[in-house]
Amino acid sequence: MRRTLAIAALLFAASAQAETPRDFLTRFEKEAGAAASAERGARFFTSKQGGEWSCASCHTDKPTQAGRHAKTDKPITPLAPATNAERFTDAAKVDKWFRRNCNDTLNRICSAQEKADVMAWLLAQK
Ligand code: HEC
């Protein structure tokens, strides 16, 4: 009995950590309280908003392809889950990089709606 409980707890912990790209879309839509728009996400991702960079400056406007850091020139693996299975599977990583990249790009954090839109667009990439 106790063993069954321990295994159940382990399984639960594992499933709580392993997230899929769709889970992030659902989470951001819930936080925004509105449906995502892939079209708005594309526009957001590829245009500069006052700063020196857009998201596409490092990730390119074709997120199924590898990018390059606009400053250090270091290669960045594709952001689209269709061509990079490691993307959007770890909440700590996703939150950290959204925070850092939005600050670098917009001088502010991204809203839940913006993150939902970007997710919808990235998920639509084949
Ligand atoms: C100055 C270059 C640069 C810009 C501009 C940039 N990024 Fe990034 N991004 C990176 C780097 C570097 C990483 C981390 C390395 C990696 O994961 O390949 C990263 C990782 C990410 C991740 C992590 C995804 C995951 O699960 O692995 C997300 C999400 C992300 N960026 C979104 C954005 C968005 C949205 C924008 C625009 C608001 C943006 N980035 C602009 C360089 C950039």
Q: How confident is the model at residue 49 (pLDDT cuts 50, 70, 90)?
A: confident
Of 9-18, 55-64, 108-117, minimum mean pLDDT range:
9-18
Burial string for 27-61 (b: 16+ CB within 10 Å, else e) reads: bbbeebeeebebebbbebbbeeeeeeebbbbbbbe
Rounded to the nearest 10°, the torsion over CA 55, 94, 81, 115 is: -60
Query: Which amino acids bring their CB within 6 angstroms of ligand 1?
Result: 53, 55, 57-59, 69-71, 76-77, 87-88, 93-94, 97-98, 101-102, 104-105, 110, 118
d(CA 120, CA 12): 27
Model confidence over 52-100: pLDDT tens digits?
Answer: 999 999 999 999 999 999 999 999 999 999 999 999 999 999 999 999 9
Over residues 11-24, mean pLDDT:
74
